[in-house]
C-alpha cells in the first residue's frame, strides 16, 4: 500500500497561481501512475490531471487544460500540480491518487480506476 500526503493548498486570488505537492511513502507499485482529483461541496469528484510514472504521459480534464501542469519527481516519489490562471470555480478539496498499472486497465478520468487516496488539501480561489 501507498501512503499519500498532499500539501500546498491555500487561499489565492483569481488569476493567481498555486503549486500542490503529493508525497508517496511506503511501497510504491513497480508500474504506476499518480494523479489529482478535486471535489467541491455538493459536487461529484472531478478528474483534474494524471501522469504515468515511467513514460511521463500526461492527461488533463477539460476544465483545466492550458492552465494546470502535472509533473513528477521520481527520486522523491512526489507529484506536483502547478495551477495557473486560477478561477473561483477551481475552489475545491484536491485529492492525490495512485494507480497500479501492472497488468491492469487504466481509465484515466474514472475515480474508481485508482487504488490509493490522500486526505486532500483545500484550495480556495477568491474573486
* Amino acid 29: pLDDT: 74
Of residues 104 and 41, more confidence is placed in: 41
The SS3 assignment for 90 reads helix
Confidence of residue 45 (pLDDT cuts 50, 70, 90): very high
* Mean predicted confidence (pLDDT) in 23-30: 83
Distance CA 56, CA 51 (A): 6
Q: Are 100 and 115 spatial neighbours (Cβ–Cβ below 8 Å)?
A: yes
Distance CA 22, CA 18 (A): 13
Mean pLDDT of the chain: 95
Q: Are 34 and 46 spatial neighbours (Cβ–Cβ below 8 Å)?
A: no
Amino acid at each position: 500500500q501507498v501512503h499519500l500526503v498532499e500539501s500546498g493548498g491555500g487561499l489565492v486570488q483569481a488569476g493567481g497561481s498555486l503549486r500542490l505537492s503529493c508525497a508517496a511513502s511506503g511501497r510504491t507499485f513497480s508500474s504506476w501512475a499518480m494523479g489529482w482529483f478535486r471535489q467541491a461541496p455538493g459536487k461529484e469528484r472531478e478528474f483534474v490531471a494524471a501522469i504515468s510514472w515511467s513514460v511521463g504521459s500526461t492527461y488533463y480534464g477539460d476544465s483545466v487544460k492550458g492552465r494546470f501542469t502535472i509533473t513528477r519527481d521520481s527520486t522523491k516519489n512526489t507529484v506536483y500540480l502547478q495551477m495557473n490562471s486560477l478561477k473561483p470555480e477551481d475552489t475545491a478539496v484536491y485529492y492525490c491518487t495512485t494507480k497500479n498499472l501492472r497488468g491492469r486497465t487504466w481509465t484515466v478520468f474514472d475515480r474508481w480506476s485508482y487504488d490509493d487516496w490522500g486526505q486532500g488539501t483545500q484550495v480556495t480561489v477568491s474573486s
